[in-house]
Amino acid sequence: MTHRTSDRSRAAVAARTVLLLALGLGIAACGKDEPAAPAAGTDATAEAPAETAPAVTPENAVSSKVSALGTDELREAARKAYAENRLYAPAEDNAVEYYLALREKAPGDAAVSSALTDLLPMTVIAIEQSVQREDFAEAQRLAALLEKADPQHPALARLKTSITAQQTAAVKRAEQEKISAEEQAKRQEELERQRAADQQRQQEEAARQLAAQQQAAREQAAREEAERKAAEERAAAAATQAPAASRPAPEPARATAADLRPISTPAPRFPAAAMRSRTSGEVQVEFTVGTDGSVTSARVVRSEPARVFDREAVAAVREWRFQPIANPVTTRRTIGFNPGG
């Protein structure tokens, strides 16, 4: 069933792209020749062009087929798609669509929000790669998913502008080259083959990266849990050995990320090169706050675009100060960079 749906989706994408290029050629030709009247006896309705498929928008980015599934069905489909590296493709059978539909039905599910947070950076990269290979229908589909997931995503405006500009350039180029519909169809077939190969490879790599990040997070959580249990055991042993009358007061509860109270969190400096190019992005930084409230260590967990804002984000976080706490706390924050902000 998945293969048939995928074939139909690819065929629809190919038809839309061919029609877009044909419309571009037709617009350029307007004003040069008036369209000829249909010959006597010809059925004008039969010769009318087929209606274009509706544009993909955040409202219809998740297919009605996916939205019709129940909560348990969506949860299982999302888990399976994630495990099989169908992170954002093919259309109607990928983890992003399933999680977005599940978020509509279970808005308070923290696991769904966490999964989407992990998947969006891969979706951004997939949009950029689709634009590079001039696969504009796929780029628009993915951009609609990104906008539905996070309408305020820092990369969204840039990606939309890139899609429009590159699509316009492709139409002009097709007009100059006078590409026939048959030639364009052949190009589209090759584009579909390239997309399938690229997306399979890209999603497998993205899945490996996600697995590595999640494993590191699990190991960190296990270490913290082991330290907590060891501290509790030491405290229990000390309380047992001490005379009842001289037992110290119980230790205060350990501080967590929720206990951090910022005193000073200066914003990062915006890199000059990124400001000139009007580049926006975000960096997720993991840092540890010591008992005196100062940041003792900081590292980049992920960034988009890679390495553009990392140095400034880490430098800014190292200058942050919080109210003193009972024990060191490690947490993560996402810092946004917007040249217009």
Tokens describing residue 119: 């998947």
**Would you say 320 and 264 are in contact if contact means Cβ atoms under 8 Å apart?**
yes
Burial of residue 276 (number of CB atoms within 10 Å: 0-12, 13-18, 19+):
exposed
Residue 177 has what pLDDT?
Answer: 78
Q: How many CB atoms lie within 10 A of CB 122?
A: 21
- Segment holding 4, helix H or strand E: helix 2-29
Q: Which residues pair with 336 in a beta bridge?
A: 282
Domain ranges of the chain: 8-24+51-215, 255-341
Residue 52 has what pLDDT?
Answer: 56
**Would you say 198 and 129 are in contact if contact means Cβ atoms under 8 Å apart?**
yes
Residue 243 has what pLDDT?
Answer: 59
Encode pLDDT of 44-81 as tens digits. 443 444 455 678 999 999 999 999 999 999 999 999 99
**Would you say 313 and 335 are in contact if contact means Cβ atoms under 8 Å apart?**
yes
Residue 104 has what pLDDT?
Answer: 94
Q: What is the DSSP string of 228-265?
A: HHHHHHHHHHHHHHS-GGGPPPPPPPPP-GGG--EEE-
Residue 173 has what pLDDT?
Answer: 86
Nearest to 329 by CA among 247, 261, 274, 238: 261
Quote the mean pLDDT of the chain. Answer: 82
Does domain 255-341 match CATH 1.10.3430.10?
no
**For the chain, what percent of residues have pLDDT higher than 90?**
54
